[in-house]
């Protein structure tokens, strides 16, 4: 059962506000996975056995149909809604070769594992290739690039990342025979850009340029599928894809899968004592003509102070008053999660902060419980990250501190809680973080716990529930 953070905070004397978001699930159609690919039921491999008898979500079915009609597809659907399956079903039933591009393969382990399960069930080949995998391939095999080219050409799905694809296109431009993707790209039928919301405007411009280059030098008539949880301007991207490929582009939207979620904003501990301390030195606040009426009212009304606590403290400090700050003990807030059935991800704004918080928590734990705490970021090895992910799935790791690497692609499945140690700079990243939890129906409810850590998020959060909701619902920036 998921630990109730509200009850725990109340017992420790913390003030907080909270609200609940309802459950959500995409619509389904009458078509089942095994209706399209009978091998899923006849020869189940790994994840395939879990979905064989399940009905497709409506957005999966619509994307499958549009791809079948020869169109490009932009699929905008929340995390946990099966976007990978939407294009892969088309590939498995049509026999078209696909090149799937992920931001980094290190962050696409779950998708690659699922794709390989589906392919093994259907009896087709999948190859994942980036610089590291290429070097490992050459070390393990006793032959060179010609054999790897053959493997890629024989694969129904090739998975790579933008950096490797760009380098290979440069080789192709200089001497085509040096390119590993030659002649694969001349036969490719579908290019998939997954985790599209991971990229910023400059990276998206580069991806679209690479599509133009592939179209120019290969001459292949490929379709494009863009998969994203969020997108601010799908119409503009649609026009660009159609201009590049010469094909119509369909924009499809789908709901996320989400169990009931409680959003909890932690204001601080023993705020009434803090209120009394501010009131004791608050005369300059009351007398200053530059202090707003809301701050002055907070000195006489505790509920107003509770709502405006961060603003009051900031204004008091600006007048040179020595007042205590709202306090949150990270260890006492997070430590109960180590006994939870599910996993808690703690997102920070930097690798240094993730390591610092993890170290602080471990130091206060008994030796036999320290292995339940881990960090996950690009400065630790791939092997360590995979061990952390495996430990989380198996219930050995309960608390993971990460700056961003777990906000995309990785589906641990048992994540029941996201803790934001400071809000990210933009709404898009907040939504990416949130998409990591509650991806299993058997989870009763999930939690979003926000611990104010910077001046700007303290200012926002002090404004109450509605201010936070308005920020979360802000329109996304245009990326193309």
**What are the tens digits of pLDDT across the range 271-298?**
999 999 999 998 888 888 888 888 899 8
| Best mean pLDDT range from 147-161, 303-317, 406-420, 461-475 | 147-161
pLDDT bucket at 306, cuts 50 / 70 / 90: confident
Interval 267-276: pLDDT, tens: 899 899 999 9
Average pLDDT, the chain: 88
User: What is the pLDDT, as a whole number, of residue 472?
Assistant: 81
Give the residue from 322, 442, 450 showing the smallest Cα distance to 19. Answer: 450
pTM of the model: 0.76
User: What is the pLDDT, as a whole number, of residue 237?
Assistant: 95
Give the residue from 33, 51, 30, 28 showing the smallest Cα distance to 93. Answer: 33
Average pLDDT (443-472) is: 82
pLDDT of residue 440 exceeding 80? no
Ranges 351-355, 372-376, 462-466: which has the least confidence: 462-466
User: What is the pLDDT, as a whole number, of residue 143?
Assistant: 64
pLDDT bucket at 406, cuts 50 / 70 / 90: low
Average pLDDT (95-104) is: 93
User: What is the pLDDT, as a whole number, of residue 85?
Assistant: 94
- Alpha-carbon span 251 to 62, nearest angstrom: 10
User: What is the pLDDT, as a whole number, of residue 176?
Assistant: 84
- Alpha-carbon span 131 to 382, nearest angstrom: 14
Task: Return the sign of the alpha-carbon dihedral for residues 194, 196, 197, 200.
Answer: positive
List the structure tokens of 407: 């906000």
Q: What percent of the chain is predicted at pLDDT more than 70? A: 94
In the block, which residue shows the tokens 């200089």? 174
- Alpha-carbon span 195 to 441, nearest angstrom: 23
Ranges 102-111, 198-207, 235-244, 280-289: which has the least confidence: 102-111
User: What is the pLDDT, as a whole number, of residue 407?
Assistant: 53
User: What is the pLDDT, as a whole number, of residue 142?
Assistant: 61
């Amino acid at each position: 059962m998921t630990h109730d953070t509200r009850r725990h905070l109340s017992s420790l004397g913390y003030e907080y506000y909270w609200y609940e978001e309802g459950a959500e699930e995409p619509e389904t159609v009458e078509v089942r996975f095994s209706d399209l690919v009978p091998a899923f039921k006849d020869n189940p491999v790994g994840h395939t056995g879990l979905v064989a008898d399940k009905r497709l979500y409506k957005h999966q079915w619509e994307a499958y149909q549009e791809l079948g009609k020869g169109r490009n597809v932009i699929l905008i659907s929340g995390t946990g809604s099966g976007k990978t399956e939407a294009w892969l079903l088309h590939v498995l039933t049509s026999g078209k070769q696909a090149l799937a591009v992920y931001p980094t393969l290190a962050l696409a382990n779950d998708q690659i594992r699922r794709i390989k399960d589906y392919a093994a069930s259907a009896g087709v080949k999948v190859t994942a290739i980036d610089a590291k995998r290429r070097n490992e391939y050459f070390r393990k095999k006793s032959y060179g690039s010609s054999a790897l080219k053959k493997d890629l050409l024989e694969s129904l799905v090739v998975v790579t990342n933008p950096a490797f694809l760009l380098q290979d296109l440069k080789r192709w431009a200089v001497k085509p025979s040096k390119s590993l993707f030659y002649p694969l790209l001349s036969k490719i039928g579908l290019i998939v850009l997954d985790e599209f919301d991971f990229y910023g405007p400059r990276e998206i411009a580069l991806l679209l340029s690479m599509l133009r280059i592939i179209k120019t030098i290969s001459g292949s008539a490929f379709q494009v599928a863009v998969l994203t949880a969020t997108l601010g301007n799908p119409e503009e991207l649609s026009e660009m894809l159609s201009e590049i490929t010469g094909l119509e582009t369909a924009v499809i939207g789908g709901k996320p899968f989400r169990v009931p979620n409680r959003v909890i904003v932690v204001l601080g501990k023993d705020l009434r004592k803090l209120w009394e301390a501010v009131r004791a030195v608050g005369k300059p606040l009351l007398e200053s003509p530059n202090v707003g009426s809301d701050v002055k009212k907070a000195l006489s009304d505790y509920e107003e102070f509770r709502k405006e606590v961060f603003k009051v403290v900031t204004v008091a400090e600006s007048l040179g008053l020595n007042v205590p700050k709202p306090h949150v003990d990270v260890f006492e807030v997070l430590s109960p999660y180590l006994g939870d059935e599910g996993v808690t991800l703690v997102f920070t704004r930097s690798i240094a902060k993730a390591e610092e918080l993890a170290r602080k928590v471990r130091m206060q734990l008994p030796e036999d419980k320290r292995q339940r705490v881990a960090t996950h970021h690009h400065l630790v090895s791939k092997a360590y990250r995979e061990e952390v992910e495996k430990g989380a799935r198996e219930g050995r790791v309960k608390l993971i501190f990460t700056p961003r690497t777990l906000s995309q692609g990785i589906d641990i499945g048992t994540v029941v809680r996201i803790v934001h140690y400071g809000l990210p700079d933009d709404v898009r990243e907040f939504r990416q973080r949130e998409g990591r939890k509650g991806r299993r129906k058997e989870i009763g409810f999930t939690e979003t716990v926000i611990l104010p850590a910077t001046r700007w998020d303290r200012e926002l959060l002090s404004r109450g529930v509605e201010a936070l909701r308005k920020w979360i619902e802000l329109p996304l920036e245009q990326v193309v």
